[in-house]
Amino acid sequence: MSRLIVVSNRTPGKGPAAGGLAVALRKTLAARDGFWFGWSGKLAESPSEAAVFEDIDGLSVAQIDLTREDHHAYYAGFSNSILWPSFHLRLDLATIEGHWYEGYRAVNRQFARALLPLLEPDDVIWVHDYHLIPLANELRSLGARNRIGFYLHIPFPTTDALYAIPHHNELMRDLSRYDVVGLQANRDVGAFTEFAEHQSPSSLSGNPLRSVDFSRTETAAFPIGSDPDAFARLAVTPAATKMVRRVERSLRDSKLILGVDRLDYSKGLPQRIEAYEKLLDNDTRFRRTVHMMQVAPPSRDTIKEYQETSDTLDAICGRVMGRFSEPDWQPLTYVKRAYGQPSLAGLYRLARVGLVTPLRDGMNLVAHEFIASQDPTNPGVLILSRFAGAAEIFPEAIQVNPFDTDETAEALRMALDMPLDERIARWTALMDAARLHSVDNWAASFLARLSPDTSGAASGTRDMLYLASTG
C-alpha cells in the first residue's frame, strides 16, 4: 500500500489529540505508513529549507519554521483576513493588502520545496484547508506527479464572494491541480461547480486569458464527523460526571441551554444571545426555570474584527444580565476559556438544549459532539443553523435561520417544551446519522477516492456530484 502524507498548516502537538480529526488521521497514518508535514509553530530569522523530522507520540512528523514576516502575510493576512471572511460570506470584514498574497504563495512554495525531497513516487498526499490551496500547483511545478487531494474544512464561497477575493482565478487554477477536492456539503459542491461551469469575469488581479480546466479534478462532498461512540463513553467518565455535578448545584433544577464555540464572528454569538433575550421577554415562565451557558474561548484575538465581536458579545451579555437577573437567579453564564473534552462532554449531556447557530459554517463538530453525548433515555434537543454544513445530515434537529432571532427564540421554546418521546425519536435519528458520518468513515471515503488503485478516470467536475459517505 502506498504511503500517506498528510499536510496541514500546523502539525500535531505532543500529548492527547484534542479533536477527532487528529485522532482519525493518526489512526489512518498508522495503517498506511507515511508522515505528517507542516509548520512547526516556530518563527526564525533564517529558516532552514529542509524539514526536520520528529517522533510525536509515535507519529512521524516533518516540520519547517517560517519567518515572522512570511507567517503574518500568509496566516493572519491572506488566510484569515481575506480567505476566512470571504469564504464565510463576510466580505464587509475582509481586509485586503496586496503584499499578503505574495507572502501566502511564498509560504506554499516553501512548503513544496521542503516536502518534495521527502516524497516517493507512489506516495498519496492529502492537503488540508484554505491555508494551502496553492500547494498542489507548487508541487506540480517542481515535478511532483503524485496523487494529491485537498480537503476544505470551511464553507466554499458563493460565486459572487469568490469574485471579490484577490487572485481568485489563480486560486481556482490551483485547485484544478488536485486530483480530488473534498468539500463539507452539497451546497459547497454546488458553488464550486457554478464557478467551474461559468468561470470568472476578467479582473486586474486575475488572468483572464484562459479558463480553468477542471476536467481532471473530482469534486465531491465528504461531510466530516466526530467519533460519536467515543464521545458517548466520554460523557459518563468521572471527569464528565464531576462537571455535571458542579453545574447541577448551581442550576437548582433549571434547564440548561448550552452553546460551545470559538469566539468568532462566523458563529452568530450576538444573535444567539439576543434570541435568548427574546425568549425571556416573550414568555415569563422561563425566567428562573432556564439558564443559558455560552462557552466561547478567544480566537485570533489579535485581529481587529475578532476583538470587535468580543466587545459586542460582552455588551449583549451584560444587557441580558442587567435586565433579568434576580438576587437568587442568573439568566446567563458566559465563559471565555476552553474546557477539556471530558468536561465538555459532561456539559453536553446535562444540557436540555444544544444551541448551534453559526451564521455560516463548514460542518460544525459541536453539533456532532452534542448528539453523541446525550443520555439515550432523556436526551436534549439540538437547535441547528440551516447555514451549517451539518444541516444537510441532521434534518431531525430543529433548524433555524440564525439571523432571525424571533425564529430562534421560538425554536428555544419548542425545544424546552418538547415531550420526552419526541426528544428520543429525534435523538435516535440524529445519532444514527452521526455514526454514519463518523470521522473514520470520512477519512476512509476520501482516501478511497484519492488512492491510485481506486481513482479511475475523472469524468469532469459536473459529473462528480455525489455524497461520498453514502455512495
CB 178 within 8 A of CB 149: yes
Is 153 in the active site?
A: yes
Buried b (16+ CB within 10 A) or exposed e, 392-431: bbbebbbbbbbeebebbbbbbeebbebeeeebeebbeebb
Is 361 in the active site?
A: yes
18 vs 226, 340, 408, CA distance in Å? 12, 8, 30
Alpha helices in 33-126 (DSSP H): 68-71, 84-87, 98-115
The one catalytic residue among 72, 129, 153, 406: 153
**What is the number of other CB atoms lying within 10 angstroms of the CB of residue 435?**
16
**Helix, strand, coil in percent for the chain, rounding step 5:** 50, 20, 35
CB 426 within 8 A of CB 397: yes
CB 368 within 8 A of CB 228: yes
Q: Which residue has the cell 492527547?
A: 16
Length of the chain: 471
Do strands 34-43 and 4-10 pair parallel, antiparallel, or not at all (unpaired)?
parallel
Strand-pairing partners, residue 126, are 6, 149
Task: Give the sign of the dihedral formed by CA 349, CA 295, CA 57, CA 363.
Answer: positive
The one catalytic residue among 88, 361, 368, 437: 361
Backbone angles phi, psi at 260, to 5 degrees: -135, 115
Give catalytic residues, as residue numbers: 153, 361
